[in-house]
Structure 1
Amino acid sequence: MKETVRRYFWWPGITKDIEAMAAKCDGCRKYKKKPPPVPLCPWPYARRPMERVHIDYCEYKGKMILVMIDAYSKKIWTRCMMSDTTTYKTLAVLFGWFCEEAGFPTTLVSDNGPQFTSKEFEEKLSKWGVKHILTPPYHPASNGLAERAVGVVKDKLKKMDVSATPVELHIGLAYIGRVYGLTPHASTGRCPFELVKQGPAPSLFPCLTARSNQQRRSEATVVKHSVAQLHQKRQFGEGEEVVIYNNHTKLSSKGTILEILGTNNYLADCGDGPKHVSVI
């Protein structure tokens, strides 16, 4: 289109005007090619225990295991869920971990599993004062810390040749967590057990001890500095009109950014209600 127009016409800003006209075409927007992937955006550096935790499910010999890792201390929690991975069972296990360990986290990161995207899961986390961030669909690298923890757990279980019986699997997971927690981590040089104990004591009322406005601004600044290092990173603001690509239908549609959920996660309205979208 550009070459054809330039062959007969020219005016200042012709390329920009042609692109703007093409962007208004419904057909061009609907069948627009999938945008190229952007550089990976690193998570902000966690400065205290339980500031951000990552969770994921993995399968071992037909049994499902829930895995959680703390971004600061690198401590790993595991629980054999057998075949029960429902929302309520997941919430019960997470609540037990939060009460027994260093308290409720500030942020929880998960993939788009049905137990994590349910209304009940969101309501409970909101009641506990925990911000929930969903990673981009079909992009497991965004939850790389949880993927790494899953890899560690499954690798050790296979090397130990742990059977799938409930007792043996429970003992194997406990042993892995103990040895891993007492081993200095390569990124911190200290043991996860040692670092996680530096966190504040668990609170009976986590919502009353939520982060102050100054803490929120400080964490937001860390995120901005992290994103600023990526020169090709695409950023959008609230109220901005965007074109959203659907991985299922392979089609694009016009939408509006409603809320910024993270460095590459947004809540957008595509005409059929708010949806989580991501820049990948």
Structure 2
Amino acid sequence: MHEVLRDFLHKFVLVYIDDVLIYSRSMADHQRHVMEVLRRLRTYHLFLKAEKCLFHHPSVQFLGFIRDYSSVTSPLTNLLRNKPKSLTWTPAAMQAFDTLKQAFTTAPLLVHPDPELPFVVEVDASTTGVGAVLSQQQGNPPRLHPCAFFSRKLNPVEANYDIGNRELLAVKLALEEWRHWLEGAKHPFTVLTDHKNLEYLRAAKRLNPRQARWALFFTRFNFTLSYRPGSKNIKADALSRLHSPDIATKDPEPILPERLFTNPISWSEETLPKLNASTDGPPACPPGLQLVPRSRRTNLIHSTHTSLGTGQPGITGTLSLLRQRFWWPRMAMDVKRYVQGCRECAMAKTPRHLPSGKLLPLPVPNRPWSHLGVDFITDLPASGGCTCILVIVDRFSKSCRLIPLPRPPTALEMAECLFNHVFRYYGLPEDIVSDRGPQFTSRVWRAFCKCLGVAISLSLAYHPQTSRQTERKIQEVGCFLRTFCHSHQESWNQFLGWAEYAQNSLRQSTTGLTPFQGVLGYQPPLFPWDGEPSDVPAVDYWFRESERVWGEAHLQLQRAVQRRRTTADLQRSQAPEYQPGQKGLAQQRNPPLPLLIDDGPVYLVKEVLDSQRRGGRLEYLVDWE
């Protein structure tokens, strides 16, 4: 719009982005000016919306600003609330009315920016927001007049920036806000800040990635950073604190830290006899003890349990301390309920009770290769171009397949590997148990299993017991490879087939059969052939024997699961029953350390959309918060 109306600017036209103001000294001049502007807009195929246009008006509202306008006018807006039939004029309303009249008739009034004059940008940042003022030296004599104001609240990530980065963010946001005036300005402009270190930004040799991106953005502008003390940077400082919470609304807090207090009882000892006299105690109250009224019991338990002098004892310790001087009915139950709900004890103390939750075993399969468990052995020495082993375990026969891979596969490569090495030999499974690796949580893997009608069972985070059979098989394979490849680790790939053969030949304690017998119905020879006919069954006999073996194996598996469940439940307690909306503490063993990326902020991820492996590292496609 500036380019289209450039020869009319400041003669009879003012432009602010897409707002056009036409002013004239007489009606005849005004009609001529309006026609010239309309012809120019039609020449450049720019359209106006009639509902938003005002023609031949003596005055219009154009780019006005009054700071704290909503706060100033609140007494007046309260008078008009709910459409009252009559207005009650109050002193507060009168004061607001006078304040508005003063604001409309006095400075600081916004002046329209003059591209022929240099700009001044004043910026400041607080802990909650940033503020900026765009000004120019106008008038006779020249005075610094504001052209525009800017204020914005910091989001949670920006609020964690240090003071230097917050001040630099204020500069960046101000230049973004007024880039239509500042980018390509005729004169270099000045940015005033109360953070002296920003003066050396362009000469700095080491910048973090965020500062480097902002520095690249600053190259689009011709400006100088200058320091001004905070006591003189009043306008920008006030704008940056618009979003600060009202300090007067906060509850008073003690100046001394909480750890210096020993949680004294909130009622004096002199009031106890009066309270006891006003409460009809039951005859069971022991002599020498004071009866505590119902309204004081929780405070008394809290003071006794959380005091520095007691060290937050358990149920027995807290109850013992209270019983030295106090008594009330069902005291033990009240103390137990309070201590069990103590958040600090739950987080800091070692649990002495049995783990909660009974054993919930996986379902017992009915046939070989119907329920699988998959996992990886990674970070192996390179052998034949492979550094990883895919371990696939049949949960029915305990048979396994060991497949060497050059690297952990993607979801698509995982699907191809399972089809080529398992599905085409043993048929489609009913369920696959795996951890929560990126291969098994991607949309490609879910779509693949859905098309084949295969259920996906993902283990819980930090709970490898879900796929215990696969983890145990990984341990046994690792032991085999360490035994035979300890002196030539670069050739473990040559021994992997023998490791699979050995694992499938070992008799399993749960079924009493070897994996070969569970799948094939017979045991292949383990020793050199001596010339005798091999013990391979006939077809009819093989079918009958397979059905018998599978039925017996299924029964043995059920018995083994029941034995394991009975043994495990002896060391566990019943899981608690939670109500909807009830809060609890989740125990997380060995949580991962937070990532520090060049001391930058941690961005919140809403959803992981997809992943792929490139150069030995995982890349994620994510949706940011």
Matched, 1:128 2:452: yes
TM-score when normalising by structure 2 = 0.31
What SS does the aligned partner of 1:101 have? helix
1:176 to 474, 483, 499: 499
1:43 to 342, 361, 383: 361
What SS does the aligned partner of 2:429 have? coil
The equivalent residue for 1:54 is 373
The equivalent residue for 2:401 is 77
2:476 to 107, 127, 152: 152
- For structure 1, list consecutive stretches of 5 or more residues without a partner in the other structure: 199-221, 251-271, 274-280
Contact 1:68 1:78 in 2 (8 A): yes
The equivalent residue for 1:194 is 517
Whole-Å separation in 2 of the counterparts to 1:68 and 1:121:
16
State the Cα distance separating 1:74 from its structure 2 match.
0.9
Whole-Å separation in 1 of the counterparts to 2:370 and 2:575:
24
The equivalent residue for 1:255 is none
The equivalent residue for 2:172 is none
The equivalent residue for 1:235 is 575
What SS does the aligned partner of 1:196 have? helix
The equivalent residue for 1:64 is 388
What SS does the aligned partner of 1:154 have? helix
State the Cα distance separating 1:66 from its structure 2 match.
0.7
State the Cα distance separating 1:24 from its structure 2 match.
5.9
Q: Which amino acid aligns with 2:479?
A: D
1:133-168 alpha-carbon deviations (Å, 9 max, x no partner): 333433434432112211232233333437646xx7
Contact 1:49 1:196 in 2 (8 A): yes
Whole-Å separation in 2 of the counterparts to 1:192 and 1:118:
32
What SS does the aligned partner of 2:586 have? strand
Whole-Å separation in 1 of the counterparts to 2:592 and 2:340:
20
Q: Which amino acid aligns with 2:347?
A: Y
State the Cα distance separating 1:110 from its structure 2 match.
2.2
Contact 1:22 1:28 in 2 (8 A): no
Whole-Å separation in 2 of the counterparts to 1:144 and 1:119:
26
State the Cα distance separating 1:189 from its structure 2 match.
3.2
1:31/1:233 CA distance change after superposition, 3 Å: closer
Q: Which amino acid aligns with 1:174?
A: G
What SS does the aligned partner of 1:172 have? helix
1:11 to 329, 338, 343: 329
Whole-Å separation in 1 of the counterparts to 2:579 and 2:416:
37
Whole-Å separation in 1 of the counterparts to 2:395 and 2:565:
18
What SS does the aligned partner of 2:503 have? helix
Q: Which amino acid aligns with 1:245?
A: Q
Whole-Å separation in 1 of the counterparts to 2:381 and 2:426:
31
Whole-Å separation in 2 of the counterparts to 1:225 and 1:186:
12
What SS does the aligned partner of 1:83 have? coil
State the Cα distance separating 1:76 from its structure 2 match.
0.5
The equivalent residue for 2:442 is 118
Whole-Å separation in 2 of the counterparts to 1:70 and 1:110:
13
Whole-Å separation in 2 of the counterparts to 1:225 and 1:47:
19
Contact 2:398 2:508 in 1 (8 A): yes
134-143 vs 150-159, which deviates more? 134-143
The equivalent residue for 1:208 is none
- For structure 2, list consecutive stretches of 5 or more residues without a partner in the other structure: 1-304, 306-317, 522-559, 594-605, 608-625
Q: Choose between structure 1 and 2 for higher RCO, CA contacts under 8 A separated by at least 6 residues.
A: 1
1:127/1:6 CA distance change after superposition, 3 Å: farther
61-70 vs 134-143, which deviates more? 134-143
State the Cα distance separating 1:107 from its structure 2 match.
2.9
1:15-60 alpha-carbon deviations (Å, 9 max, x no partner): 44344445666x5488355756739947354443234322211133
1:171-219 alpha-carbon deviations (Å, 9 max, x no partner): 5323332343345444433231331257xxxxxxxxxxxxxxxxxxxxx
Contact 1:56 1:67 in 2 (8 A): yes
Contact 1:56 1:146 in 2 (8 A): yes
1:54-98 alpha-carbon deviations (Å, 9 max, x no partner): 221113324111101112101111111112432322232223344
For this pair of structures, how many residues does the alignment match? Answer: 226
TM-score when normalising by structure 1 = 0.61
1:238/1:103 CA distance change after superposition, 3 Å: farther
2:347 to 17, 27, 31: 31
